[in-house]
Structure 1
Amino acid sequence: MTQATYRHYPSFTRRYVRSVMKMLGLPKKPKVEAEIFREMVHDEQMVHSINGEILMLEWHHGREGRVVVPEPSLSEWLQTVQLSKVQGDAWSWPWEFSTLSFPAKQTFHGHQVDGALVAWVDSTELPSRYETFLKAHGNPHGVDMKGIGDPWLIVAIHNPLDDKPSLNPTMLRGAFKHSQITDFINREAIAYAGGRAQPLADEEGMILREVVRYVLSLGMYLSAYPEALSSGVPVWMKNKHPEGRKGIPFAQVGVDREDRELRVAMTAPHTVSPYWRQLRDERFYRGKWASHRRGSRYVLVSGYEVGAGKTVGVAPVDP
Structure 2
Amino acid sequence: MNQQATYRHYPSFTRRYVRSVMKMMGLPKKPQIEAEIFGQMVHDEQVVHSLNGELLMLEWHHSREGRVVVPESSLSAWLQTVQLSKVQGDAWSWPWAFSTLSFPARQTFHGHALDGALVAWVDSTTLPSRYEAFLSAHGNPHGVDMMGLGDPWLIVAIHNPLDARPSLNPTMLRGAFKPSQITDFINREAIEYAGGRATPLADEEGMILRAVVRYVLSLGMYLSAYPEALSSGVPAWMKNKHPEGKKGVPFAHIGYDREDRELKLAMTAPRSVSPYWRQLRDERFYRGKWADRRRGSRYVLVSGYEVGAGKTVGVEPIEE
Shorter-chain TM band: over 0.9
Identity of aligned residues (%): 80
* Secondary structure of residue in 2 paired with 1:62: helix
Matches within 5 A, 1:211-290: 211-262=212-263, 264-265=264-265, 269-279=269-279, 282=282, 285=285, 287-288=287-288
Residue 147 of structure 2: aligned partner: 146
CA contact (8 A) 1:159 1:169 kept: yes
Which consecutive unaligned segments of at least 5 residues does structure 1 have?
none
292-301 vs 246-255, which moves further: 292-301
213-222 vs 80-89, which moves further: 80-89
Distance 1:159 1:184 in 2: 21
Change (3 A) 1:235 1:121: same
Q: Deviations over 1:186-214 (max 9, x none)?
A: 11100133222222111111100000000
* Secondary structure of residue in 2 paired with 1:240: coil
Distance 1:281 1:49 in 2: 31
Residue 93 of structure 2 corresponds to residue 92 of structure 1 = yes
Distance 1:51 1:200 in 2: 15
1:261 CA drift (Å): 3.0
CA contact (8 A) 1:228 1:255 kept: yes
Residue 7 of structure 1: aligned partner: 8
CA contact (8 A) 2:80 2:215 kept: yes
Q: Deviations over 1:30-51 (max 9, x none)?
A: 1001000011111111110111
What TM-score do you get using the length of structure 2 for normalisation? Answer: 0.92
Distance 2:88 2:7 in 1: 31
Q: Deviations over 1:207-229 (max 9, x none)?
A: 00000000000111111111111
Q: Deviations over 1:76-103 (max 9, x none)?
A: 1100001113433321111111100001
Change (3 A) 1:277 1:137: same
Residue 51 of structure 2: aligned partner: 50
Distance 1:127 1:243 in 2: 26
159-168 vs 131-140, which moves further: 131-140
Change (3 A) 1:286 1:156: closer
Change (3 A) 1:316 1:254: closer
Change (3 A) 1:243 1:295: closer
CA contact (8 A) 2:67 2:250 kept: yes
Q: Which amino acid aligns with 2:47?
A: M
Change (3 A) 1:60 1:226: same
Residue 108 of structure 1: aligned partner: 109
Matches within 5 A, 1:99-248: 99-248=100-249
What TM-score do you get using the length of structure 1 for normalisation? Answer: 0.92
Which consecutive unaligned segments of at least 5 residues does structure 2 have?
none
Q: Which amino acid aligns with 2:278?
A: Q
1:295 CA drift (Å): 5.1
Change (3 A) 1:257 1:36: same
Q: Which amino acid aligns with 1:58?
A: E
Change (3 A) 1:116 1:267: closer
